[in-house]
Structure 1
Amino acid sequence: MKNLSRLLFAMLLVLGYSNANAQDENNPWQINIGVNAVDAFPSGDGVQGNAYLGSGFGDEFFNASDHWNILPSLSTISVSKYLSSGFSFGITGSLNKIENWGDKANTFPEEVNKVDDWSYYGVDGTIKYNFLQGTTIDPFVGVGGGYTWVDEIGAGTVNGTLGVNVWFNDNIGLTLQTAYKHAFEDYLQTHFQHSAGISIKFGGTDTDGDGIYDKDDACPDVAGLEAFNGCPDTDGDGIEDSKDDCPNEAGLAELNGCPDQDGDGVADNKDNCPTVAGIAALAGCPDADGDGVTDADDKCPNQAGPSANNGCPWPDTDGDGVLDKDDKCPEIKGTVANAGCPEVTAEVQKQLNEYAKTILFDTGKSTIKSQSAEVLSDIIKILNEYPNSKFTVEGHTDSVGSESLNQRLSDARANAVKEYLVENGIDAFRLSALGYGESKPIDSNKTRAGRANNRRVEINLAK
């Protein structure tokens, strides 16, 4: 019972240590349970005259049948904690039953170094260094010390350890190791202690419970996927939420995780017409006639036309080849050269002046006689046919009377005709009036007939 109490005490030390430290690395704790074998023969102490021990260090190291002591039950337990950079610290508690302390004597082959079931207990602390962390085959070395009792006599030891972990998965593996334990007291023989057992790594923090420890979890507070280092993919489209423009709707990688119902290459969240295939330039809306106006806004969706005319082609109401938008006379057929308005031909000009010559005034005055109303009406009709053209009303006299008087009279008569035309619907902006007096005769002023021809009004196209 006394010996058992020592082992329990050692185990309590181990458990107490494991609960006294914070856990801040993935699987920082490793527990190992297994069996151990104690062997004093390969210590090399036989050179001191002890015939039951090997004469060289490591003699018959693997001769388990002749001098290993193995208790056929759980006989060792250890707990270690990862520190950093491959280093860890652990405590091991072990027990055994010694039947062979060495081997057959060299001088008396018939004798065997048998002992009477000595008890063996050990509590050891070890600092280990693992060479290949994170690999299946994980070798390590260690140094440390402890206290060992053999047949209830104890002494301190300094230990050197060599071993390997073989991991079956991230948490469970097989550990094989051997420790050389050098005693500080002569009454405790230097010896080897081998062990084999199952190791379990544990203690990693996984705040969000997604199976990825916080140390390796890029999103430690939100459950996620291993493929995304612990970050979520809420809509399951294979794009993690942080890179997904539409994290709650499954979409396409080329659209940063957003869906495209109509398959037009424009993501639904940027598509003004998400259920109808369109073009990117029009925010995903269609344009059947290709005029740059979406069908929804196009009053002529099957005829190309400018946006300024709601997607319809500009009309040419009068059919003169000049679109109404450019046609200054959209309802009157004209020419391209005259911005869609009709041009005053020589024949029209001649007709105007034939009419204008017949306008009669009171003698020596600018008053238009009433009988001229009909011819003025004909003039107005002609002017209305050319709404974009400007005209000059010119007054002329014969040479009878003074030149200054004739000039004033020609001015007055030209303005009288202009005023009549304006009062009867002709835009004043289109007309100007100018008197030339007697300066531009068209006939001789020496005859009565010639003077009559010179007294006239002309209506000419303004240049």
Structure 2
Amino acid sequence: MQIKKVVGLVLLSATLSFGSMASIFTGENVTKSEYKNGERGIIVKQDIDADGIIDSKDDCLETIPCKEEGCKEPEPKPVVIGDDDKDGVLNNIDECPNTPKGFEVDEVGCSKLVNLEVLFDRNKYNIKENFTQKLDIFVDFMKKHIEYKAEIQGHTDSRATEKYNEVLSENRASTIKTYLIESGIEEERLTSIGYGELSPIDTNKTKEGRANNRRVIAVLKK
């Protein structure tokens, strides 16, 4: 009788030990339907590495770095395309990436019109000294971009007769053209024309507006 009790206790202990060991391999008690992949032992709704991705969809179950990100693809960062020469045309389509400030450009970033920022006194067509620096920037551009030709256009305010203003504007354009040639730009790349009072950019009713209209611009052509 004593022997039977001992054997019974041994068998009971072995059964309990086996159950504990089995739980190590099988994990929590779940039904067969809760497993997605029997070989991997993946429980459908379990998240063993606590990365926010349930195991049935997690390809990094055993990877420690996945604790935070799992195997989620990082969200793509937005691509920021700049406009280095500040001409209003983005770098990825700008065919003339070093346009000087103030040059008007076409849809691919190449210069088409330049305000030379040279203004004249009334009835005058000589270049005042404080405007030569602006012209020298244009000279430098023309020397670097020999593919361009330029039409120099002169303008006036509306005072005096239309005929007088036409001649005055032609003289202004011609003066600028001469300065460019003397600065090293080939004469065959330059033409000049006067538009008189016909194309104002400001009002002719104020002193400041009339001063802005007495100007010269350059239209660039390839």
Which has more strand, going by share of residues?
1
TM-score normalized by the length of structure 2? 0.48
Bigger relative CO (Cα 8 Å, ≥ 6 apart): 2
Higher helix content, 1 or 2: 2
Scaled by the length of structure 1, the TM-score of the pair is 0.24
